[in-house]
Chain A
């Protein structure tokens, strides 16, 4: 699978504000996944959006996908201190063989200030 590039690399906002981070990729995909990593922990799957979807919601998360621009955005509304983490996107293309390992960019390090 290809690597996505997250932007910005770091984001600091006040609790209660919305946080937006972006992901760009290079070649066509079947879906794109977003993951969260708390410091010193593994990754937690947040949401998957298929290539034929433009927007998807899950709780306070809103993900958009623009395949023409090869980009996605993750919006976290009404941020909380617990949202402080690194966020990674994983563009995914089905290869037809076995499962491929996901590859990740450097992520967006989000800090929620109390």
Chain B
């Protein structure tokens, strides 16, 4: 089946630094990738949608300059949390799909970001 690899699984960084999270589709070409954020015992909040070769579309309230998304190829999307602060600490999850849905949404295993 379709596999999405997300890396790293955990990262601790100092306040003010930037962190990059990678999301790779291993056995399919991901037309679209999605990035989510999840707080403890809360739902997944959709942050942005990215299509290969074009700018990401951010959900309302998500700072695009804070969360930089690059979808340079059909198998790789990256999320960079710039100038991270403790309030950015969260669980980030990516999802990828080949085609336009509704079948085949595959999720990565998530990245636990802790900003100290």
Query: A103-B46, A104-B44, A106-B42 in contact; A94/B101 too (CB < 8 A)?
Result: yes
For A43, A100, A109, the residue with the greatest tally of chain B CB atoms inside 10 Å of its CB is A43
Chain B residue numbers with a CB within 8 Å of A107 are 43
Does any Cβ of B come within 8 Å of A25's Cβ?
Answer: no
Question: What's the count of A-B pairs with C-beta under 8 Å?
Answer: 67
Does any Cβ of B come within 8 Å of A40's Cβ?
Answer: yes
Does any Cβ of A come within 8 Å of B28's Cβ?
Answer: no
User: How far, in whole Å, are A79 and B44 apart by their CA atoms in the complex?
Assistant: 25
Does any Cβ of B come within 8 Å of A64's Cβ?
Answer: no
Query: A41-B110, A42-B6, A107-B43 in contact; A101/B34 too (CB < 8 A)?
Result: yes
Does any Cβ of B come within 8 Å of A59's Cβ?
Answer: no
| 0 or 1 for each of A1-45: is its CB under 8 Å from B? (1 = yes) | 001000000000000000000000000001101010000111111
Of chain B, the residue at the smallest CB distance from A41 is B109
Instruction: Indicate which residue in A40, A98, A102 contacts B105 across the interface (CB closer than 8 Å).
Output: A102
For A31, A88, A102, the residue with the greatest tally of chain B CB atoms inside 10 Å of its CB is A102
| 0 or 1 for each of A81-114: is its CB under 8 Å from B? (1 = yes) | 0000000100010100111111111110100000
User: How far, in whole Å, are A92 and B115 apart by their CA atoms in the complex?
Assistant: 34
Closest chain-A Cβ to B32's Cβ sits at a distance in Å of: 4
User: How far, in whole Å, are A99 and B29 apart by their CA atoms in the complex?
Assistant: 14
B43 lies within 8 A of A99 (CB): no
A40 lies within 8 A of B43 (CB): no
A44 lies within 8 A of B101 (CB): no
Instruction: Indicate which residue in B44, B102, B106, B112 contacts A48 across the interface (CB closer than 8 Å).
Output: B102
| 0 or 1 for each of B81-116: is its CB under 8 Å from A? (1 = yes) | 000000000010101010111110111111010000
Closest 9 CB pairs of A and B: A42-B107, A99-B101, A43-B107, A101-B34, A101-B46, A99-B32, A42-B109, A92-B102, A99-B100
